[in-house]
Copies of this chain bind each other. A is one copy, B any other.
Amino acid sequence: MAKLILDISMSLDGFIAGPNQTLENPLGEGGERLHEWVLPLKAWREPHGLEGGETGPDSDLVEEGLQSIGATIMGRRMYSGGEGPWAEDPNADGWWGDDPPFHHSVFVLTHQARERVAKEGGTTFTFVTDGIESALEQARAAAGDKDVAVAGGANVVQQYLGAGLLDELSIHVAPLLLGGGGVRLFDNLDAGAVELEGTRVIESPAVTHLAYRVVK
């Protein structure tokens, strides 16, 4: 069965976004620094429709991660880019543009039903109103023989983790202390709810890649 993977950049102090997220700056203040390591990489630029880029271990790791994923799950705010226009118009478009970088089926957890959206390049957004297990089931069916990624936000990750549904964590620890009250990846978890086993460490000058298997 397809595994459910979390693949995300986190600061050393545990944040995946800075404070004061807005539609213009969905990563919050300073949050873009979490992703500085990935932006120059060939494996990141390609699905974003950009040519060139750096090759090497970081790029290989990103490419390997992307190629293993056949469907993605995300929260509603990650789809719409913060509260944004959705608060007024439930049919407003998300902020991913005409050719989103996923190129596969994306399942958006929301309380408000709406029609499936098909974008260029193979990305579709399907809106799931009946909970995280239903979204996972649909994503697994769409992923074929590949795995499923949970993209965020933190609240969605915490729901899957707390429910024991996440299989693997791939955490890219950026050498940053973001501080200042951003969004913590690991929060609201019961003590001892999750057991991990370290599976891989890859070091690069810009970031440290830590991989874990969820044991329970």
Interface residues of A (CB under 8 A from B): 12-14, 18-19, 29-30, 161, 169, 171, 173, 175-182, 184-187, 189-198, 201, 203, 205, 208, 210, 212
User: Known: A177-B186, A208-B198, A210-B208. Is A191-B14 also a contact (CB below 8 A)?
Assistant: no
Q: How far is the CA of A190 from the CA of B161 in the complex (A)?
A: 29
Q: List 21 contacting pairs A-B, 8 Å CB cutoff, sorted by A.
A: A12-B171, A13-B14, A13-B187, A13-B189, A14-B14, A14-B186, A18-B191, A19-B191, A29-B191, A175-B197, A176-B196, A177-B189, A178-B192, A179-B186, A179-B190, A179-B192, A180-B193, A198-B203, A198-B208, A201-B201, A208-B208
Instruction: Classify the secondary structure of A's interface with B.
Output: loop
> Please, which residues of chain B bring their CB within 8 A of the CB of A205?
198
> Please, which residues of chain B bring their CB within 8 A of the CB of A18?
191
Assembly of this chain: how many copies? 2
Nearest 6 pairs of A and B residues by beta carbon: A180-B191, A179-B189, A13-B186, A201-B203, A14-B14, A175-B198
